Structure 1
């Protein structure tokens, strides 16, 4: 484990081709989706896995679901409370309805393919951002310590996360996305309920019906099904 880095994703890319985990006690320039800053107090988990996948980019991107399932497995193994955790499309892990963890995939291209993929993971083990720091309408951040009373170190969390991810990676490469899709849906937050999905220019409302074979969100809008490949979801 490194003491301090700018971001574990950036550090992981410097260690390409991998596979290798990079975990740091502190990030000085951590970031989330859409370039948002990611608060990085010591004691939380900041880790990135660097891979050099060979599939087409649309298959490579499905590893966000492998990462989410691995995070869920690690959290359940450490707490023994499967009912407390859920997965929010496309890349968050919830604890008691609040945001516990996020996933950020970044890649370096090679022609039309992906030369290197880095899967960045941040988990609020002991501290969560103040609700005033999150986007209006977003879920309230929570920490594992505050919600469960358990103080888990980043090293102990990695001991659960790394083998859990390896199992889902093997499933994805050996059996395809179908078993990951089924497992993800069984852990999905707000499945069958009304949600809002906001793209860069539009907001779509409907019933969260499923995810399709590409990982896209499928909304039922008055009997019409709409597949949305990328969006921010609000409950």
Structure 2
């Protein structure tokens, strides 16, 4: 992500995928650490999307859909699910995560980077008391695949998502994401910085916000940690 920012600010002319063979300062959402591990994928797509910040944020759903389809080549897709807002689960464990960063001074973004970490072959050490413990693709019975090969598949899958967005709009992306959403229709808990909300996971709206049906009616949640 740091290298993506450097490239973007130096004058990016076309979309660029960056892969780290070794990562020493990985990070996740809200400043949390992220350990890539040997044989795993740590990559960032950086580009100029010519869109608003809100439209850029929706790219996390494109990335999730792309990750789902790429992983489904190497393991039974029925064992995969998408956890709002930006994780991919395999057998209810976290196999991949997504982190977005962007910059822009006006109504449109100057650049957007989509960081993706995938546990292809190993599980990071030292992660305790995680709500969704880390798992790896090969550790759960998936085919072994190198980071380089998986990145090629992922890049192609993401390009397909961008083509869908351009042709059909976010409604199609949202529909595809909901088809694989973890615990859709179940009671879940959303923990924000200010409160904890429990309700039935009904849908995501056109902005990608989580919609929970609670005892006092529907609640729209733009950002939270989710617990099942």
TM-score tier, shorter chain, comes to over 0.9
Distance 1:137 1:159, change over 3 A: closer
Q: How many residues align?
A: 224
Question: Post-superposition shift, 1:139?
Answer: 0.7
Q: Are the aligned partners of 1:137 and 1:234 in contact in 2 as well (CA < 8 Å)?
A: no
Larger CA deviation: 59-68 vs 223-232: 223-232
Residue 154 of structure 1 corresponds to 147
Matched residue SS, 1:133: coil
Question: Post-superposition shift, 1:202?
Answer: 0.7
Larger CA deviation: 145-154 vs 42-51: 145-154
Q: Please point out which of 63, 74, 79 is paired with 1:78.
A: 74
Residue 12 of structure 1 corresponds to 4
Deviations 1:42-79 (A, max 9, x none): 21000000010111111111100000000000001223
Q: Are the aligned partners of 1:101 and 1:121 in contact in 2 as well (CA < 8 Å)?
A: yes
The separation in 1 between residues aligned to 2:88 and 2:170, in whole angstroms, is: 19
CA RMSD in angstroms, aligned pairs only = 1.3
Q: After TM superposition, where is structure 1 displaced by more than 6 Å over at least 4 residues in a row? A: none
Residue 57 of structure 1 corresponds to 53
TM-score (norm 2): 0.94
Deviations 1:3-41 (A, max 9, x none): xxxxxx111222222301001111110100001111122
Question: Post-superposition shift, 1:137?
Answer: 5.4
Deviations 1:87-123 (A, max 9, x none): 0000000001100000000011232431010000000
Matched residue SS, 1:207: strand
Residue 219 of structure 2 corresponds to residue 226 of structure 1: yes
Residue 58 of structure 2 corresponds to residue 66 of structure 1: no
Q: Are the aligned partners of 2:81 and 2:181 in contact in 1 as well (CA < 8 Å)?
A: yes
TM-score (norm 1): 0.91
Structure 1 or 2: more strand by fraction: 1
Deviations 1:178-225 (A, max 9, x none): 000100000000000011101112110001010011100000112611
Residue 31 of structure 2 corresponds to residue 31 of structure 1: no
The separation in 2 between residues aligned to 1:125 and 1:105, in whole angstroms, is: 21
Q: Are the aligned partners of 1:58 and 1:214 in contact in 2 as well (CA < 8 Å)?
A: yes
List runs of 5+ in structure 1 lacking aligned partners: 1-8
List runs of 5+ in structure 2 lacking aligned partners: none
